[in-house]
C-alpha cells in the first residue's frame, strides 16, 4: 500500500526543488548593492581601488558566478571603474557578483601614444594583469563560497587588452573572457578559456589581434560586430546602445 505514494512523493520533491533553485540563468531580478574599498598589494606597494556590485538578497545564490571588469583608458583621472554602471549593475541584478577594478592611479605614468603598442604598452597591461590576479586571490579568501570555476573577465579598450593578456598568461584560472573592442593585445588562439569579443564600428583592431576565420572556427571564438562607437561603450552610450551591449554579454554568459 505504501508504494502507491512513491510517484506522488517524487513529483512533490521535484516541484519543491524547482521552486527553490535560484540559478544565475534564472529570471530573478535583484536590487543591487554597491560597495567600494581600496585594497593594498604589499608585494608591489600598490593601492587598488575596487567596486563590488552584488545582488541585494538575504539568501545565498547557489552557484553564484564572478565577473571581473576592467575599464578603458582614462588618462589617470580616476573613477573609471564606476562609469560602466549600465553593465556592472545589470549583471549584478541578474545574480552575478561583479568586481570592477580601478587600474590607473593619479601617480602613474601616462600610457605611451608613440611606438609599437604591443611593446610600449605591455608593462601597463602586465600591471593590470597583476591587479586582477591580486584582487582575485583576495576575494577567494573573503568569499570562498562563490563559483570561481566559471570566472569571467570583461574589459573595454585598454582594459580589454589587459583581459586578453590575462587569458594568455593564466588560461586555467578563467572560464570565459569578453573583450569590448580591445585593439592592441592579441586574443589567445585557444579554446580555453572561451573567447568572445565585441567590436565597435569606428576603430579597427591592429593586425593579428583578432583571429582569422579558420581560427575562429577551430577554437569556437566569437567576434560580434556592432554599430556602436568605441567611445560609447561605457555609460556615455545611449539607452539603445546599452541595451544592445547588455543583451550580447548576457547571451554569451548564459551559453554553456
What pLDDT was estimated at residue 16? 39
Q: Average pLDDT, stretch 211-224?
A: 97
Going across the sheet that includes 97-101, the strands are: 31-41, 46-56, 97-101, 65-70, 147-156, 176-180, 194-199, 222-225
Question: Which tens digits make up the pLDDT trace of 163-215?
Answer: 999 999 999 999 999 999 999 999 999 999 999 999 999 999 999 999 999 99
Q: Which of 151, 152, 155, 215 is nearest to 188 (CA)?
A: 215
Question: Which tens digits make up the pLDDT trace of 20-37?
Answer: 333 454 568 999 999 999
What pLDDT was estimated at residue 131? 98
What pLDDT was estimated at residue 2? 39
DSSP state of 151: E
Q: Is residue 44 left, alpha or beta, with left meaning phi > 0 and alpha meaning psi from -120 to 50?
A: alpha
Q: Which of 103, 104, 86 is nearest to 236 (CA)?
A: 86
What pLDDT was estimated at residue 132? 98
**C-alpha separations of 147 from 42, 58, 61, 64, 182 in Å:** 26, 18, 10, 6, 26
**C-alpha separations of 190 from 167, 218, 227 in Å:** 10, 8, 27
- pLDDT value at 160 more than 70: yes
Question: Which tens digits make up the pLDDT trace of 65-80?
Answer: 999 999 999 999 999 9
- pLDDT value at 140 more than 50: yes
Q: What burial letters (b/e) apply to 196-211, b meaning 16+ CB within 10 Å?
A: bbbbbeeeebeeebbb
What pLDDT was estimated at residue 107? 96
**C-alpha separations of 245 from 60, 68, 249 in Å:** 28, 17, 6
Question: Which tens digits make up the pLDDT trace of 83-138?
Answer: 999 999 999 999 999 999 999 999 999 999 999 999 999 999 999 999 999 999 99
What pLDDT was estimated at residue 26? 52
What pLDDT was estimated at residue 10? 44
What pLDDT was estimated at residue 17? 43
- pLDDT value at 18 more than 70: no
Assigned C-alpha cell, 246: 547588455
What pLDDT was estimated at residue 28? 83
Amino acid at each position: 500500500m505504501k508504494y502507491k505514494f512513491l510517484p506522488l512523493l517524487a513529483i512533490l520533491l521535484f516541484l519543491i526543488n524547482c521552486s527553490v533553485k535560484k540559478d544565475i540563468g534564472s529570471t530573478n531580478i535583484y536590487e543591487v548593492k554597491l560597495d567600494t574599498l581600496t585594497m593594498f598589494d604589499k608585494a608591489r606597494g600598490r593601492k587598488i581601488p575596487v567596486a563590488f556590485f552584488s545582488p541585494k538578497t538575504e539568501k545565498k545564490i547557489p552557484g553564484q558566478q564572478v565577473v571581473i571588469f576592467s575599464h578603458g583608458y582614462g588618462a589617470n583621472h580616476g573613477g573609471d571603474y564606476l562609469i560602466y554602471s549600465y553593465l556592472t549593475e545589470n549583471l549584478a541584478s541578474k545574480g552575478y557578483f561583479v568586481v570592477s577594478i580601478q587600474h590607473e592611479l593619479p601617480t602613474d605614468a601616462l600610457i605611451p601614444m608613440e611606438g609599437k603598442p604591443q611593446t610600449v604598452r605591455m608593462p601597463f597591461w602586465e600591471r593590470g594583469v597583476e591587479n586582477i590576479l591580486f584582487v582575485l586571490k583576495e576575494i577567494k579568501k573573503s568569499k570562498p563560497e562563490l563559483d570561481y570555476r566559471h570566472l569571467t573577465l570583461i574589459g573595454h579598450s585598454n582594459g580589454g587588452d589587459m583581459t586578453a593578456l590575462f587569458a594568455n598568461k593564466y588560461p586555467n584560472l578563467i572560464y570565459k573572457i569578453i573583450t569590448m573592442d580591445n585593439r592592441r593585445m592579441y586574443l589567445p588562439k585557444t579554446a580555453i578559456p572561451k573567447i568572445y569579443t565585441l567590436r565597435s564600428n569606428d576603430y579597427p583592431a591592429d593586425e593579428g589581434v583578432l583571429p582569422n576565420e579558420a581560427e575562429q572556427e577551430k577554437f569556437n571564438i566569437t567576434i560580434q560586430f556592432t554599430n556602436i562607437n568605441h567611445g560609447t561603450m561605457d555609460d556615455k552610450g545611449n539607452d539603445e546602445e546599452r541595451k544592445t551591449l547588455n543583451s550580447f554579454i548576457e547571451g554569451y554568459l548564459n551559453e554553456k
